[in-house]
Amino acid sequence: MNLFKQKLLVKISLILIILLFSSCHSYLADSPTNLNDIMDGKYTIIDLTYPLNQDNAYWPGPSYSSFKYKTVATLENDGVFSGVYSTPEHLGTHIDAPNHFESNQPSVDKLKLENLIGPASVIDISEHVEHNADYELTIEDIISWEELNGSVQGGSIVLLNTGWWKKWNNYDKYKNADKVGNLHFPGFSRDAARFLVEKRDVKGIGIDTLSADNGMSSDFAVHHIFNSAGKYILENVANLDKLPPKGTMIIIAPIKIEGGSGGQARIWAILP
């Protein structure tokens, strides 16, 4: 494919994304919708994705393992560079599809484009987390955010900046297990999850930790609440501290595993 065709394909793809996003959200006056301005670099684009490597955090269950990559062909020997990799679905920056915790819900390959694009509401609870690693987002936290930024819009994606991303490069500190194996990191509360699903009808949520449920959770109520409503969860999201509370558009591009419960996702934020 020549360079002209590549640029044309990129432009057409972005047009479709922007038109779809604009048609779903009439309040986008504050969001980037001008394709040419995006292409010309007039908007800031932030990658919310950690690169995949063997140091990536993953759920510390008995059947999980680290990311593995092996080179199987080189330019020097084979005239082509190529590799093979293996990974759990729930490793690194990834998406939990609705079928992750609930039956009869869509798998990751069934997620629709219109649900993977939306405005972001970014809530910062990092100050609470500094004093309590097990902190959970409350309804009161959401209401306080809304008093400053306006109501969380239906169809938005709520991203929770807990400050936990600071531990990303140290897996032991990131999962933060105590002597008996209990994990300690922040998350959404059961009540906050219900509020966001039932009262705000958000598309999904995201967080900069291993799980939307805090580390001490044993029933994974947040996962059940969101997945039972056909909604997804993003975990191990990067660079949430670089986003404003509102005015950002999010584009999520998950791997398409047939029947999968989730998988790695590239996530972009477009800031005006």
**Count of CB atoms within 10 A of residue 270's CB?**
21
User: Are 41 and 262 contacting, i.e. CB atoms less than 8 angstroms apart?
Assistant: no
Whether 265 is covered by a domain: the verdict is yes
Instruction: Return per-residue pLDDT of the chain as tens, 272 residues.
Output: 565 555 555 565 565 555 554 544 443 444 445 667 777 888 899 999 999 999 999 999 999 999 999 999 999 999 999 999 999 999 999 999 999 999 999 999 999 999 999 999 999 999 999 999 999 999 999 999 999 999 999 999 999 999 999 999 999 999 999 999 999 999 999 999 999 999 999 999 999 999 999 999 999 999 999 999 999 999 999 999 999 999 999 999 999 999 999 999 999 999 98
User: Are 225 and 193 contacting, i.e. CB atoms less than 8 angstroms apart?
Assistant: yes
Whether 180 is covered by a domain: the verdict is yes
Task: Specify the pLDDT at position 42.
Answer: 81
Whether 38 is covered by a domain: the verdict is no
Task: Specify the pLDDT at position 11.
Answer: 61
Task: Specify the pLDDT at position 64.
Answer: 94
Cα–Cα separations (whole angstroms), residue 41 to 48, 119, 158, 270? 18, 20, 26, 11
Beta strands in the chain (DSSP E): 44-47, 68-73, 82-86, 94-96, 117-124, 136-137, 157-161, 187-188, 204-207, 232-235, 248-254, 262-271
For 137, the domain range is 47-59+89-271
Counting the structural domains of the chain, the total is 1
pTM of the model: 0.88
Whether 30 is covered by a domain: the verdict is no
Task: Specify the pLDDT at position 24.
Answer: 41
Whether 241 is covered by a domain: the verdict is yes
Whether 7 is covered by a domain: the verdict is no
Token output for 172: 């032991």
Whether 83 is covered by a domain: the verdict is no
Is 184 annotated as catalytic? no
Whether 184 is covered by a domain: the verdict is yes
Task: Specify the pLDDT at position 95.
Answer: 98
* CATH number for 96: 3.50.30.50
Catalytic residue of the set 90, 94, 100, 223: 100
